[in-house]
Structure 1
């Protein structure tokens, strides 16, 4: 599973979704989905825009968390 730390980054700076959307030029719906971790995919332009805005690396924004309990990912190696 991929965890998005946008809500933590925004909380540290006391930012609202509308603030990030306006200041980065990103779609508000995109920022909302990332904030609530409901996004299924993310364009690289969005990742770049957020990394530039927060002066962070991709690894500060996203984290891979292994789910040993059978997370039912389409990438699971079980048939």
Structure 2
């Protein structure tokens, strides 16, 4: 896939672990883990909104398009 999730970077910058994000957003641990490991195929608007609110960022800060090789 040509879209990369940068949740792990944002979590590292804020010193959050999966449990912290779970407690602050209410998202499931499985969803957070899949995003952290960049294994999600789809993401809904509510999830994006909660993460952007938590990290005070834009969707572009969370997701990145790259050219596949």
Q: Give the TM-score normalised by the residue count of structure 1.
A: 0.83
The root-mean-square deviation of aligned C-alpha atoms, in Å, is 0.7
1:9-52 residue CA offsets vs partner (Å, 9 max, x unmatched): 00011110111011111111100000000011111100000000
Answer 1 or 2: higher relative contact order, Cα 8 Å, separation at least 6.
2
CA distance in 2, matches of 1:42, 1:21: 16
Name whichever structure is richer in helix by fraction: 2
User: 5+ unaligned residues in a row in structure 2: which ranges?
Assistant: none
Structure 1 residue ranges (4+ consecutive) displaced by more than 3 angstroms after TM superposition? none
- Equivalenced residue count is 68
Q: Give the TM-score normalised by the residue count of structure 2.
A: 0.94
User: 5+ unaligned residues in a row in structure 1: which ranges?
Assistant: 70-79
**Greater radius of gyration (CA):** 1
